[in-house]
Amino acid sequence: MRPGVILSWALIVLVALWALVPGVFTGYDPISGVPAEKLRAPGPGHLFGTDAVGRDLFARVVHGAVHSLSGAFVAVAVGLVLGTLLGLVAGSVRGALDEIVMRVVDVLLSVPGLLLALTVIILLGPGTVNVAVAVGVGSVAAFARLARSEVVRVRRTDYVEAAFGSGGRFAAVLWRHVLPNSLVPVVALAALQFGVAILAISTLGFLGYGAEPPTPEWGLLISEGRNYLATAWWLTTLPGTVVVAVVLAASRISRSIGREDG
């Protein structure tokens, strides 16, 4: 395994631990601050500095991991499950149903993902869960197209034809042979979409559609710090760096999975 992949996995594991056991990494309260310590630059006492009300920024980033990561997991799960099911049905049944599903997918792919997510949020309303679902809906089309192409490829292989020829039931052959052998590229896309989902959720949080203050969500942290760019650069730069690093790590892992499949 290449050093870049190892480093990417290490970063993802570290951020996952932030979400699971934040108290191990910081003893500061992410919600309450000390006004006397407001806007302190990064240093030994406060690794990422403090914000405008004296809250430790590193503590807020660490505790915010659970909101961003859980939202990304929900988004990827929605896109993966719905998209794979649509692709499986379209690629295995073919005919008129395939044409209808893929034309709908084409329409969805023509709409920018963030715009589609915003449309869903308008229907569902703002909030952390709704933002995650909206981002997931925006990724369904990409999963469906990839899953469909893989299902069509696997459906034509000799062992699948032999399974049908030996009397295998349609649903059983799809479940035992077609779906498992079509999933590796889809999993690679899921790893990529995990990073994209974090970025999209952070963007929507920055725009005010996600978690409400004082929740330490990554996008909201960047939004809160933008008014202090001239005097407290760390309020936006450091949370933003964490978001970018996690997105790049997820992308690197996705490429490594795709390379192994190839």
Tell me which DSSP letter residue 212 carries: P
CA atoms of 191 and 89, how far apart (whole Å): 23
Q: What is the mean pLDDT of residues 104-112?
A: 89
CATH of domain 3-261: 1.10.3720.10
Average pLDDT, the chain: 90
168 pLDDT higher than 80: no
3-state secondary structure of 97: helix
Question: Which of 225, 206, 230 shows the shortest CA–CA distance to 217?
Answer: 206
Question: Which of 85, 64, 68, 105 shows the shortest CA–CA distance to 195?
Answer: 68
Tell which wins on pLDDT, 94 or 49: 49
CA atoms of 203 and 182, how far apart (whole Å): 32
149 pLDDT higher than 60: yes
Tell which wins on pLDDT, 163 or 25: 25
Tell which wins on pLDDT, 245 or 192: 245
Q: What is the mean pLDDT of residues 129-144?
A: 93
Whole-number pLDDT of residue 261: 53
Burial of 201 (0-12, 13-18, 19+ CB in 10 A): buried
Q: Are 210 and 204 in contact (CB under 8 A)?
A: yes
Q: What is the mean pLDDT of residues 99-126?
A: 89
Neighbours of 35 (CB within 10 A): 10
Whole-number pLDDT of residue 3: 87
pLDDT band at 260 (very low <50, low <70, confident <90, very high): low
Q: What is the pLDDT of residues 27-44, one digit of tens each?
A: 999 999 899 999 999 998
CA atoms of 12 and 191, how far apart (whole Å): 11
Q: What is the pLDDT of residues 8-18, one digit of tens each?
A: 999 999 999 99
Backbone angles phi, psi at 52, to 5 degrees: -70, -15
Query: Where do the structural domains in the chain lie, given as residue ranges?
Result: 3-261
CA atoms of 228 and 220, how far apart (whole Å): 14
3-class DSSP string for 117-166: HHHHHHHHCCCHHHHHHHHHHHHHHHHHHHHHHHHHHHHCCHHHHHHHHC
Q: What is the pLDDT of residues 204-231, one digit of tens each?
A: 999 989 888 889 999 999 999 998 988 9
Whole-number pLDDT of residue 81: 94
118 pLDDT higher than 80: yes
Side chain identity at residue 60, one-letter code: R
Least confident segment among 48-57, 154-163, 248-257? 154-163
Q: What is the mean pLDDT of residues 92-104?
A: 87
Alpha carbon of 237 to those of 57, 67, 230: distances in Å? 11, 19, 12
CA atoms of 157 and 178, how far apart (whole Å): 9
Whole-number pLDDT of residue 259: 65
Whole-number pLDDT of residue 126: 87
